[in-house]
A and B are shown apart, each in its own frame.
Chain A
Amino acid sequence: MIDFHVHKPSEGGEGGRYDSRPYTAADYVAVMDELGIDVSVVFTLDGLWHPSPAENDRVAAWVAEAPDRLVAFGTVDPRLPDAAAETERCLGELGMRGLKFHPWIQAFCPHEACMDPIAEVAAAHGAPILFHDGTPPYSTPLQIAALARRHPDVPMVLGHGGLQDHWREAIAAVTGTPNLWICLCGTPNAGMRAVVARCPSQRLLFGTDAGLGAAVSQPFAAERIAEVEQLEIEEEVRAAMLDGNARALLRLEEQVG
């Protein structure tokens, strides 16, 4: 199983977010073993509020503790003049596999022109860009689809499958945008069923959002895994969503995970 939506825990302190508390990558990998997760795609948490090269370095270092189990995504402030250069550093020097953005926290709209240079760097690396989605005003699925249509060579991912209110819109966005993928992560069960029934099965992904809780055990992640495992869908589709699709998108070597 590949968990396509995990946050490195907050560093804590005054900049700490949610209830997240620091724990090590090794501790989290032990939790992954308990949960049956082979590989986790890891984003920053603190860096969503304060994106910086230093935070990208911290994510890369955290992931480097278990390089066969953890995959890093970076983030940048798309309005900064060095955003493309930092994107290049993330995907090149730091060896990150993709990018993560949370537009409403990071204060931009996904289809703003400031995202174009970043998408061009991602295209050069064949790296996907994942967005938080499901939340107006600046994280709706069709806003993300608008950017994806401008950059058809870049795989883009709806990181939350539309959440509670936008999963119908997410289905429309994915079915109308060949390079748009959808990660079921916080989508209500009725929405999960509809997404799986209506979206191309090869562009389905699954994520837990682990990293938001205080305890390394991340009980809500276990809950989300139980929910997707109980989802009444074809086993072939479940296997693709939980594993094969993510491997293809991340271009993971077979020996990883």
Chain B
Amino acid sequence: MTLVFDAHVRLGVGRDASLTAGELLAAMDRLGIDRALISPQERCLAVDHRDGNAFVAEAARRSGDRLLPYAVASPWRGRGALDELARAADDGAVALALDPAVQGFDLLDGQADPLVEAAAARGWPIYVRTGTPSFALPLQLAELAVRHPQASFVMGKSGATDFWIDARPALERAPNLYADTAYAPWDVVLAGLAAPPIGWGRLVFSTDMPNSAPAIERARHDAWPLGDEARAAILGGTLQRLLP
């Protein structure tokens, strides 16, 4: 039985799209998704980190182990951000989510490094949303990944849209970087990212609910002509392996 594990969902009330835990679990049931990593809404990425961490931790506790929380904290908070990560870890967090466009930092300004180190020390993968110029780009994330070879990074959105062209060079630059399949058509993007020598072992499935059409995101992986082993890895096996 293939494990289907969604690498990124945002829970809560967003600016233009919202999602409750109940709606998420219903969508997962409908689409055959077993588990999902959940990040809090944009407000909690930007400013209200403690609220966000508590919110996703509670949703995870109520989910019967289907939802797993990301921790969020602002690189601008310095020591306070590390304390927040520790609190989130005690509350069940298993990964770190960063969004330079929403949180307002430069991936290479050094401010995120303590958070990355703290996540790596816990064995957490780090989801970083990419695609927004000028400070949320795949090749910048690849440099951050090179600085931190002990950590695993998920390249959120893989540069969608016009920085898809950078996603493959980013994967080539940093072996500890994994591509997210959200928004990326298999025929014009994903097949190129998965081509040797990178290989399908460096891709992870996400729906990016509620910003996406989740049924389309999920159906893509049935339409893509892949072998069973590759499909299972992309849909969940690889992400499962990255988690502590």
Is A223 a contact of B216 with CB atoms below 8 Å? yes
Q: How far is the CA of A213 from the CA of B219 in the complex (A)?
A: 18
Q: How far is the CA of A189 from the CA of B211 in the complex (A)?
A: 6
Q: A134-B162, A213-B185, A219-B186 are in contact. Are A164 and B220 (CB under 8 A)?
A: no
Instruction: Give the residue name and chain of the A residue nearest to B136 (CB).
Output: A165
Residues of A in contact with B, size category: 20 to 34
Q: How far is the CA of A190 from the CA of B187 in the complex (A)?
A: 23
Is B186 a contact of A186 with CB atoms below 8 Å? no
A186-199 interface code vs B (CB 8 A; 1 in, 0 out):
10111101100000
Q: How far is the CA of A186 from the CA of B160 in the complex (A)?
A: 9
Work out how many contacts link A and B, with CB atoms closer than 8 A. Answer: 73
Is B186 a contact of A164 with CB atoms below 8 Å? no
A176-211 interface code vs B (CB 8 A; 1 in, 0 out):
000000000010111101100000000000000000
Q: How far is the CA of A166 from the CA of B192 in the complex (A)?
A: 26
Looking at the assembled complex, report how far the CB atom of B73 sits from the nearest CB atom of chain A, in whole angstroms. 23
Contacts of B108 in A (CB 8 A): none
Is A193 a contact of B17 with CB atoms below 8 Å? yes
Candidates A135, A160, A168, A215; contact of B187 at CB < 8 Å? A215
Instruction: Give the residue name and chain of the A residue nearest to B134 (CB).
Output: A136
Q: How far is the CA of A55 from the CA of B149 in the complex (A)?
A: 47
Q: A134-B162, A227-B213 are in contact. Are A164 and B188 (CB under 8 A)?
A: no
Is A188 a contact of B212 with CB atoms below 8 Å? yes
Is A190 a contact of B131 with CB atoms below 8 Å? no
Say if the beta carbon of A230 comes within 8 Å of chain B. yes
Is B185 a contact of A219 with CB atoms below 8 Å? yes
A-contacting residues, B87-105, CB 8 Å: 101
Give me 30 A-to-B residue pairs in the complex whose CB atoms sit less than 8 angstroms apart, sorted by A's number: A18-B188, A19-B187, A19-B192, A134-B162, A135-B133, A135-B162, A136-B134, A163-B161, A164-B131, A164-B132, A164-B160, A164-B161, A165-B132, A168-B16, A188-B183, A189-B211, A189-B212, A190-B211, A193-B16, A213-B187, A213-B188, A214-B187, A219-B185, A220-B185, A220-B186, A220-B187, A223-B223, A230-B213, A230-B216, A231-B213
Other 8 A-B pairs with CB < 8 A, given A136-B133, A191-B16: A19-B187, A160-B161, A164-B131, A188-B211, A189-B211, A190-B210, A219-B223, A230-B215
The 3 closest A-B pairs by CB, nearest first: A220-B185, A190-B17, A190-B211
